[in-house]
Structure 1
């Protein structure tokens, strides 16, 4: 019996075909990507987020090597699918031939076994070929999965590193709260919402679906490249298998190809129309889910305060309000997906039976064999899958698109945050100089106007004033956080200038690293750290240096502030800004800690915000902020 392929020479032919088609697809992929980046909004957004991953000297060589390998694997999968249809052709033709022999009442002098032997041999040969193809298919899929995972991990690691670095760079993670961000529905918020979710979940979605859309997974036509190659390859096969069909008295040649194209075109247009709102709804889903999760985290982080206020019912109402927004969005997505998926399921069921219906007339008139009918169904299915790619993947494309919008929005807000005004800061000698520093509120209301002063080593300035006069805002402006300010700030550079907030930051690590933060603990011996804990009245912690805890929950506010004073004494800065840094301490502890700093670091310049009159005794100058730009600077008489 004749076979659909010359299986003895198929290996060489397939290698040549895969390499040639891969080369063509690589050139086409580069050209199409260039056009998408040049002329589409989402292509430009993707390139802004991930473009450097493909072009940087450090990452590009291995990245493009993995891309080429994945490309070859996806083309190889298409070739295997083609060969499976020819194996099916041979198998069903052998069965049809065997059936025809069994139906004959008379032979040609040969026994039934002799007459049916060629068909039997052809059948078992086709099954052997199937075994070889199936083994190759499985090995190809397993190795492709590993290479794909290597590509995904590499891309995700690069994006996470660069986007988090961009977010943290030049304090954009704080200053982007002053940037107006417009959502997909036109609403405006201050700063990008939930940057943690964008850096974790949206990057994961972006990487996974980028791989999926371009190369697919599992050997099907689920990626752009295998879908395009499948469409071209199986169109030619189906063209040869399909015949004319009478439609309302008109004979349409190669009817199956044209009917399939029309069928999928209509199905795709309707699917895109049904699925288009999913992009906006999915973007909203990410934001609402993150808001609800953040609300839960806030309850956990503030459990003690909530319990003391007996605020459980209030928090429950607030959480359920956030959750109701999640549910409302969920139902909106569900209604849209019901229509979208229902349409796709219907199209899929029709696709399963359509080739058999079209070819049935030709089969029963003997124009095609059973093997050709089976091959037609296989070719039709592959071609239908490839043409249905965008229809089937629109829901996933909506998730990918939403992630792109969110990541691009985060980077855009970070970029604009770095471009916000900042006070002119100059690294100078061991002194602090403020020259015509003016600080405003975001609405333009004046807080401090033309503040000028000079502090030399050993000076200590206490800043006072009523609520809302700009004390903390002044410190934020001098630290580079507050954008609504002008003037010049001269101070020692680098780690020689230290800012301490009212609530110290305690990282999730061992107490040793908490105590030396942000300096590495390797620069200090355990004996030094233990003695420092004793000096700041925390002797009960000396044996817990190696413990990993959420220390912000373990330590009281007063203990946390003592940790902050320990950091000052360990780092020995030339200038320290203290924003209500002793507010949780009693006057006795406050006195001993300030005295410790002034004794051990006599040349360090102190600038403190405080409401306590007792704090004055540790300072040499006083700055009183009067509001609306007014201020007074005076010396504090030394107590005898």
Structure 2
């Protein structure tokens, strides 16, 4: 199955997806071969979700739970009352007491009304508990996924956590809703088993059989028969249905994979069509579909055997108590009403004791979905615990009251512990425009992601001035749904900038043709070209006025003239802002006054030089004079080597 694209995929572009992934993963992969996915023990589903009943929501949770328990007990009581009604009705029928039959019918109507009322209340309480529990779990999952950029780290870390959106929605629903349903069913089964085993014991009494001239007495005979029959059917259902659990889990995985592949093709439809990738994508999609169908056939085989057993039980079950009680009825040991009551109680006992068999398929579905949710939680736990390699550790990004960005003893690793960059130390002053150079796979993109706080794996410390605001410009900027003004303002809300501010920013980056459409809602990630999206990113910089801009191929989709326009605009509008850039286009170096080089030294990569240079584009040298660098850069003796 094809690996998912890199974290900055948006809107379309097969070549862009590949470039983004190769840019990031080539840097990561330079330190060594890919390692196998790490194994981990899944966190406990119950430990993760029990907080709903033990945390801030415990009052609401226990109120719903208590109400449901009371309603279930009431429901079982009403079923028992119907069982007793059956005895009186059939006794009256046997004795031809017409008045008693009419009275029984009136009682039945009242019982049915009560059963319906309790059923409605129980359904409302059940669904209310499911909705509130799901709200609590969704809130916890989303907060965890969005905290500390975990959503990004999961996309670049090794591990099995595909389709997090499906895990937090459909899988979470299938992991939670059945728990309430099955718990209610289990409680109902326990109470029913207790009530109707009592009926079998007291009404059915002992059974007597003549075997070879000997009399076999079975005290509480119906109880013994019911327990033996339930044990036999439960054991058979377990062994017949056991393969279903793994089959369902594999099927759910294949369903998610096929959905992802279809979504990927839809989002990259234009690029796939332009590059004539139809045949390759068709093979990938058909392969995913074939894999899903194969897993469905495994489910069909396992489920067919289980359903065959269930259907046989449905036919045999009502006959068992009649067969065992026939001799006692013929010998006048029990009335017709007693026999019917015992037969109905026997069925209720079997329904209760065969609860596992009746719910085996739902249990399999629940376990598969719960495992997928807990796989995601487990991966997030691994990130938080810093698991991933023998060295482990994390790069600390801290703030201080200084006015320089400092890299101190920074070692960048992959999440499996392999070293990407052995050593990196540097100081970046306010107003520095630093170009990070190095051969492909040297770790340029990974280093600037570490500086931006996106890459935690490694050691050392990156110290950023407390007063500095930081903005990251990726190769493919993200555009949210909504108006164009919302896209320009992002990550701020659209109403935090005025139409005039947004208009001025668009004109400054060469998008004046879109000024009149600022408040139009559309799929701007599809309407705008790659170069236009990159200009939007620079418009955001002009509006946000960050102190540090970190750019990763941020002008790769622009032509030379457009690149010059946005870079000069940026330099003039924010003369005191620092910038760190990664780009393969040599012309971009003209807009920087320093170059940091990453080179392979021995078996690793090191930051080996930091060269100051005179930028070709420095309009009126205002930004250099403001920070006191004009004299230093004009003097070639100011160049230094680390």
Q: 1:109-508 counterparts in 2 under 5 A? A: 119-176=97-154, 190-215=159-184, 223-242=185-204, 243-246=206-209, 248=211, 249=214, 250-420=216-386, 421-428=393-400, 429-440=402-413, 447-493=420-466, 496-508=469-481
Task: Provide the rounded CA distance (Å) in 2 between the counterparts of 1:493 and 1:316.
Answer: 51
Render the CA deviation track for 1:64-99: whole Å, top value 9, x for unaligned: 00000000111111001000011122222222111x
Secondary structure of the residue aligned to 1:84 is helix
Shift of 1:484: 4.0
Q: Which runs of 5+ in 1 are unaligned?
A: 1-40, 99-118, 181-189, 216-222
Task: Provide the rounded CA distance (Å) in 1 between the counterparts of 2:239 and 2:414.
Answer: 47
Native 8 Å contact 1:193 1:287 kept in 2? no
Native 8 Å contact 1:506 1:514 kept in 2? yes
Native 8 Å contact 1:464 1:624 kept in 2? yes
Are 1:516 and 2:499 an aligned pair? no
Task: Provide the rounded CA distance (Å) in 2 between the counterparts of 1:474 and 1:247.
Answer: 88
Q: Which runs of 5+ in 2 are unaligned?
A: 1-40, 387-392, 619-642
Task: Provide the rounded CA distance (Å) in 1 between the counterparts of 2:220 and 2:468.
Answer: 78
Native 8 Å contact 1:178 1:191 kept in 2? no
- Within the candidate set 592, 601, 620, 2:593 is matched to 620
Native 8 Å contact 2:157 2:415 kept in 1? no
Native 8 Å contact 1:194 1:287 kept in 2? no
Task: Provide the rounded CA distance (Å) in 2 between the counterparts of 1:448 and 1:322.
Answer: 37
Change in Cα spacing, 1:321 to 1:92, as seen in structure 2 (3 Å) is same
Which residue of structure 1 aligns with residue 25 of structure 2? none
Secondary structure of the residue aligned to 1:462 is strand
Aligned residues: 562
Shift of 1:121: 1.7
Shift of 1:444: 6.4
Shift of 1:289: 0.8
Native 8 Å contact 1:434 1:452 kept in 2? yes
Which residue of structure 2 aligns with residue 93 of structure 1? 91
Change in Cα spacing, 1:638 to 1:408, as seen in structure 2 (3 Å) is closer
TM-score, with normalisation over the residues of structure 1? 0.84
Which residue of structure 2 aligns with residue 21 of structure 1? none
Render the CA deviation track for 1:490-510: whole Å, top value 9, x for unaligned: 113598011111111112233
Q: Larger relative CO (CA 8 A, sep 6+): 1 or 2?
A: 2
Which residue of structure 1 aligns with residue 518 of structure 2? 545
Render the CA deviation track for 1:10-50: whole Å, top value 9, x for unaligned: xxxxxxxxxxxxxxxxxxxxxxxxxxxxxxx99x7122220
Shift of 1:578: 0.6
Native 8 Å contact 1:179 1:413 kept in 2? no
Task: Provide the rounded CA distance (Å) in 2 between the counterparts of 1:354 and 1:549.
Answer: 67
Shift of 1:439: 2.7
Secondary structure of the residue aligned to 1:191 is coil
Native 8 Å contact 1:440 1:484 kept in 2? yes
Native 8 Å contact 1:422 1:480 kept in 2? no
- The structure where helix makes up a greater share of residues is 1
Native 8 Å contact 1:616 1:636 kept in 2? no
Which residue of structure 1 aligns with residue 53 of structure 2? 54
Which residue of structure 2 aligns with residue 629 of structure 1? 605
Shift of 1:123: 0.9
Secondary structure of the residue aligned to 2:475 is coil
Q: Which runs of 4+ in 1 moved over 4 A?
A: 177-180, 440-447
Secondary structure of the residue aligned to 1:629 is strand
Secondary structure of the residue aligned to 1:583 is coil
TM-score, with normalisation over the residues of structure 2? 0.84
Secondary structure of the residue aligned to 2:398 is strand
Task: Provide the rounded CA distance (Å) in 1 between the counterparts of 2:564 and 2:260.
Answer: 39
Pairwise CA RMSD: 2.0
Native 8 Å contact 1:231 1:383 kept in 2? yes
Task: Provide the rounded CA distance (Å) in 1 between the counterparts of 2:467 and 2:479.
Answer: 21
Native 8 Å contact 1:500 1:579 kept in 2? yes
